């Protein structure tokens, strides 16, 4: 079995997305044969054709596949994995984030918070951005609401920054309030929040803003800090390295060039920009906030009733009217999401996770978790651990 393949990593080193991919590739190589790696420091706008003109090797993982680059790769019989999503698939095995599912997750996040006005801000001419918008619109329309869409010019340079931001601010100001806005990545989310400031719009009271990437630096530079969908970039990198290895070895089943592997997101990092519940009835909003804040402390429906001093029948009827579910279901949903977060992000014991999610007994947590997700807590955690071997 041959080893020492020469591999070029055409992945941007300047952004959280690219660096996560590189971490995933590194994790794969820790448990596999070594490669001779060629990598350059560059932005996402690097020139893959120039790289191919001065490098000769066995395989490439690229975030910048173009029709010209594909022709070079095929003419030189180089094994390749396409991680770009700026254009539709081009016949080279693609691994990327599940962009439409990301949009649908954003829609669910806002609908659960009671919003009835929705908008999405996307980049012009960017396939990945348009796919996220499609998923968001699908999720909104499935719940019988409408969504307005704004196309922001995709500019590498900032000469027209003020012009672009003024146009965006005018569009945001004209939206019916309160409104929930998905920005298709965190940088665009930063633009939306800046435009809100220009238009003197309150966030999250008038406009709730959700980004994508969970770039901690960008999300915490905004005012207020921005909620964001967490992408599993390490898994993208891991799966890319594994698939490229199979292609270069030419042993056993190899990825179908026409297939695309889409990696689901890891959930949502909720920060202040969506920490709002768009419910017309202030008492229902208070109840929802109390549940979100205290469910993982073991709060019950009776605790909610005692806090609000309302009747059980009113609370049950109001929750079903606004959210389509009971207060008890809402408490359970918050607890299950907390369990998922702790299983993904920590190595805490199940006993500790049960306690932090508001369960008195670990066994009961396991029963509820399996009923709601279809798998045991241990199996759910194993999905993460498969990347850490």
**What are the pLDDT digits (tens) for 251-292?**
656 566 667 899 999 989 988 899 777 667 878 878 887 898
Which pLDDT score, from 0 to 100, does residue 82 have?
Answer: 93
Q: Residue 303 is encoded by which pair of tokens?
A: 């605790």
Domain end, chosen from 274, 294, 326, is at 274
Domain shared by 227 and 132, yes or no = yes
Region of poorest pLDDT, from 14-28, 44-58, 103-117, 237-251: 44-58
Contact assessment for residue 95 and residue 240, using Cβ atoms and an 8 Å cutoff: yes
What is the average pLDDT across 33-55?
Answer: 77
Domain end, chosen from 220, 241, 274, is at 274
368-382 pLDDT, tens digit per residue, is 999 999 999 999 988
Domain shared by 343 and 286, yes or no = yes
What CATH number should be reported for the domain holding residue 309? 1.10.10.60
Q: What is the pTM of this model?
A: 0.73
Domain shared by 217 and 258, yes or no = no
- Judge whether 110 lies within some domain: yes
188-198 pLDDT, tens digit per residue, is 999 999 999 99
- Judge whether 343 lies within some domain: yes
- Judge whether 1 lies within some domain: no
What is the average pLDDT across 180-205?
Answer: 94
Domain shared by 296 and 216, yes or no = no
Contact assessment for residue 84 and residue 50, using Cβ atoms and an 8 Å cutoff: no
Domain shared by 113 and 217, yes or no = yes
Instruction: Give the pLDDT band of residue 157 (cuts 50, 70, 90).
Output: low
> CB under 8 Å to 276, separation ≥6 — which residues?
113, 178, 204, 205, 208
Which pLDDT score, from 0 to 100, does residue 254 have?
Answer: 59
Domain shared by 205 and 173, yes or no = yes
- Judge whether 40 lies within some domain: yes
How many independent structural domains does the chain possess?
A: 3
Instruction: Give the pLDDT band of residue 86 (cuts 50, 70, 90).
Output: confident
Domain shared by 166 and 219, yes or no = yes
Residue 241 above 50 pLDDT? yes
Q: Name the pairing type of β-strands 227-230 and 267-269.
A: antiparallel
Domain that holds residue 55: 6-97+233-265
Domain shared by 34 and 130, yes or no = no
Domain shared by 369 and 313, yes or no = yes
Residue 388 above 50 pLDDT? no
What CATH number should be reported for the domain holding residue 16? 3.40.50.2300
Residue 31 above 90 pLDDT? no
Which pLDDT score, from 0 to 100, does residue 385 have?
Answer: 52
State the Cα–Cα distance between residues 79 and 57, nearest whole angstrom: 9
Domain shared by 60 and 92, yes or no = yes
The mean pLDDT value of the chain amounts to 88
Residue 363's H or E segment, with its range, is helix 362-373
Domain shared by 362 and 247, yes or no = no
299-339 pLDDT, tens digit per residue, is 999 999 999 999 999 999 999 988 889 999 999 999 998 89
The distance from CA 356 to its chain's CA centroid, rounded to whole angstroms, is: 24
Domain shared by 80 and 189, yes or no = no
Which pLDDT score, from 0 to 100, does residue 296 have?
Answer: 93
């Amino acid at each position: 079995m041959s080893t020492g393949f020469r591999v070029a990593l055409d992945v941007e080193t300047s952004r959280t997305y690219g660096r996560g991919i590189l971490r995933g590739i590194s994790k794969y190589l820790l448990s596999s044969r070594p490669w001779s790696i060629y990598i350059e420091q560059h932005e996402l706008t690097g020139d893959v054709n120039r790289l191919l003109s001065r490098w000769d090797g066995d395989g490439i993982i690229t975030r910048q596949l173009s029709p010209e680059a594909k022709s070079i790769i095929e003419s030189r019989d180089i094994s390749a994995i396409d991680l770009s999503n700026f254009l539709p698939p081009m016949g080279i095995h693609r691994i990327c984030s599940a962009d439409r599912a990301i949009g649908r997750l954003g829609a669910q996040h806002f609908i659960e918070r009671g919003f009835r006005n929705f908008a999405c801000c996307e980049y012009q001419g960017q396939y990945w951005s348009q796919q996220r918008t499609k998923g968001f619109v699908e999720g909104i329309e499935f719940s019988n609401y409408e969504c307005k869409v704004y196309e922001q010019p995709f500019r590498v340079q900032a000469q027209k920054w003020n012009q672009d931001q003024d146009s965006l601010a005018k569009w945001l100001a004209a939206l019916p309030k309160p409104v929930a806005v998905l920005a298709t990545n965190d940088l665009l989310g930063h633009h939306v929040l800046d435009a809100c400031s220009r238009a003197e719009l309150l966030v999250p009271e008038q406009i709730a803003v959700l980004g994508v990437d969970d770039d901690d630096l960008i999300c915490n530079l905004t005012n207020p800090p921005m909620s964001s969908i967490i992408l599993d970039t390490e898994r993208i990198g891991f799966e890319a390295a594994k698939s490229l290895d199979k292609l270069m070895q030419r042993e056993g089943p190899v990825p179908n060039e026409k297939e695309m592997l889409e990696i689901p997101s890891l959930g949502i990092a909720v920060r202040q920009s969506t920490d709002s519940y768009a419910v017309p009835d202030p008492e229902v909003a208070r109840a929802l906030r109390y549940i979100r804040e205290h469910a993982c402390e073991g709060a019950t429906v009776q605790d909610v009733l005692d806090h609000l001093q309302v009747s059980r029948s009113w609370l049950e009827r109001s929750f079903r009217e606004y959210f389509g579910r009971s207060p008890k279901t809402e408490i359970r949903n918050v607890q299950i999401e907390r369990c998922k977060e702790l299983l993904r992000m920590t190595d805490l014991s199940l006993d500790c996770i049960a306690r932090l999610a508001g369960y008195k007994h670990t066994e009961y947590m396991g029963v509820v978790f399996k009923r709601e997700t279809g798998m045991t807590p241990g199996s759910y955690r194993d999905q993460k651990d498969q990347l850490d071997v």
